[in-house]
Amino acid sequence: MMKIFLSLVFACSILISFGQSKNAYIRISPRDPRYLAYSDGTPYIPIGLNLIGMGRFENTTRGLGQTEDILKKLSKNKGNYFRLWFSDNFYDIEHTKSGEYDEAKASERLDKVIQLASKYNLHIKATMEHFRHFNTEPAWSAKPLHHVKNGGTATSIKDFFTGTASKELYKKKLDWYAKRYAANPTIYTWELWNEVNTVQGSGNSLQEAKAQFEWTKEMLPELHKRFPNRLCTQSLGSFNDRNDRETFRAFSSLPENDLAQVHRYLDVGADLQICHGPVDAMMADAVNELLAFQLKKPALLSEGGAVEAKHSGLFKHYATDKAGMILHDVLFAPFFAGAAGGGQFWHWRDYVAKNDLWFHFRRFHEVVKKLDPPSENFEPSIEVQDKLRVYGLKGTRTTLIWARDTSNTWITELQQSKAPEVVKDFQLEIQKHIANKRITKVRIYDPWRNKWTKAKVKNNRITLPDFSRSIVVRIEYK
């Protein structure tokens, strides 16, 4: 009885406060390893996006000013997370010579952006490297200073990942970051590399990425040694090819890789047909690929968005997506498919900011606020009911359902300019979600109108109010 009483007290304290202690850090929840929580037990559902950097700015004041503007808007709309490339030109402390680190630049820029994140109650995933070649162009992915002819340690990209001197150099950089930031709770995840299998000379198959895989196996334990109370991970390129599965399985299965991450984009040039169709379906599928590995660790869609064929440019229909239907689907679909948080969008400047779509983060937060995923033991499911694709998270005390109109897609709304239809008088079948449960409350949320309504269950069905695109149902029971 005492254990039951203490469990109830703990659950109630979470539901009442949902605030964490000042020194708490984010970790994998001991109550359910598929989700995240603060070290004091408070659940943590990451809500945010990729804010890679301000590499186009030479001026510190302008770059930090624009960054603060974005962080302020994200925080105001209940975001709590963003990903930052520490290797972005604006922040990179290793920019003049291999193995030399710019203390002044760190103080002026990197320290300041971390302080801004703390100011706006945002956590950071810090990506430490992203270069893909030793050439000079394209500049965004170049790092020629590591080549021996420029005073570096590597004769080739492969040598950078396999050579002892280059590996020791990378560990030296880990030491530098650890000395400065290891105790900082604002940084909740350290990521070794952005899309490590996309560097020059690697490819989709695990055999092609063997050098990067072996390097990752060696570096993740080194990362954990230096950041013992932080999550440590690695990332791969967009999952859009049939050969990607085994690569993702191998990297995600590494014991020291705390997160199973996936990147996925709407891309009509992708090998996988799922990447051509409805955005919600392709994002949910990416998460399902990770869950199928049965790793018992948090799965996250950590990059999502839309591109022209084979990542050849910015998606041409972003300009007409003023409502933000793509952002909505990238946010909602991964979580309802079983991910530990909302999907994390890539095009922060040219789409989210340009179309002023920040309100979508608040709408997602409205759905998950006061939710404790580690206590729910959620069972995700996806089914089609008539014209709706129905995503369900059946939990111990709560079932969340996200219903998406299958007749509304990026093709109909953005390419063909067809306004979303109004779904009227739909009877949602919920028997499998409520079997043997005593329902205490049913509420329906329209994320497009930001409106909650009460509802009742009759004959295992809920009559949905009229809606367009999608709607959420929250059922509570004993």
Residue 26, classed as helix, strand or coil, is strand
Residue 17 has a pLDDT of 37
Does 3 have pLDDT greater than 70?
A: no
Separation of alpha carbons 298 and 242, rounded Å: 23
Residue 22 has a pLDDT of 64
pLDDT above 90 as % of the chain? 91
Residue 250 has a pLDDT of 98
Does 31 have pLDDT greater than 50?
A: yes
In this prediction, residues 49-69 reach a mean pLDDT of 92
Residue 10 has a pLDDT of 39
Does 412 have pLDDT greater than 90?
A: yes
Does 2 have pLDDT greater than 80?
A: no
Output phi, psi for 373, to 5 deg. Answer: -55, -40
Separation of alpha carbons 14 and 11, rounded Å: 5
Residue 225, classed as helix, strand or coil, is helix
Residue the block writes with tokens 């014991």:
255
- Model confidence at 9, pLDDT cuts 50, 70, 90, reads very low
Residue 190, classed as helix, strand or coil, is strand
What's the farthest any 2 CA atoms get from each other in the chain? 75
Residue type, 276: H
Number of Cβ within 10 Å of residue 179's Cβ equals 10
pLDDT, tens only, 306-334: 999 999 999 999 999 999 999 999 999 99
Does 20 have pLDDT greater than 90?
A: no
Q: Count H helices and E strands in the chain, helices first.
A: 14, 18
Q: Which string of DSSP letters, residue by residue, matches 40-107?
A: TS-EE---EEE----TT---HHHHHHHHHHHHHHHHHTT--EEEEETTSTTT-S--SSTT---HHHII
In this prediction, residues 105-122 reach a mean pLDDT of 98
From start to end of 406-478, where are the E strands? 427-429, 439-446, 451-454, 461-463, 470-477
Does 18 have pLDDT greater than 50?
A: no
In this prediction, residues 275-303 reach a mean pLDDT of 98
**CATH class for domain 2-373?**
alpha beta
Domain boundaries, the chain: 2-373, 380-477
Beta-carbon contacts of 278 under 8 Å, excluding residues fewer than 6 positions away, are 329, 389, 404, 406, 409, 410
Contact 96, 102 (CB under 8 A): yes
Structure tokens of 74? 């994200």
Does 58 have pLDDT greater than 90?
A: no
pLDDT, tens only, 449-474: 999 999 999 999 999 999 999 999 99
Separation of alpha carbons 324 and 420, rounded Å: 13
Does 15 have pLDDT greater than 80?
A: no
- Higher-pLDDT residue of 108 and 3 is 108
Structure tokens of 258? 């705390």
Residue 436 has a pLDDT of 85
Write out the H or E segment, with its range, that includes residue 37: strand 36-38
Return the CATH fold of 380-477: Immunoglobulin-like (2.60.40)
Q: Do domains 2-373 and 380-477 have the same CATH topology?
A: no
- Higher-pLDDT residue of 56 and 69 is 69
Does 14 have pLDDT greater than 90?
A: no
C-beta pairs of 8-13 under 8 Å, 24+ apart in sequence = 10/41, 11/372, 11/375
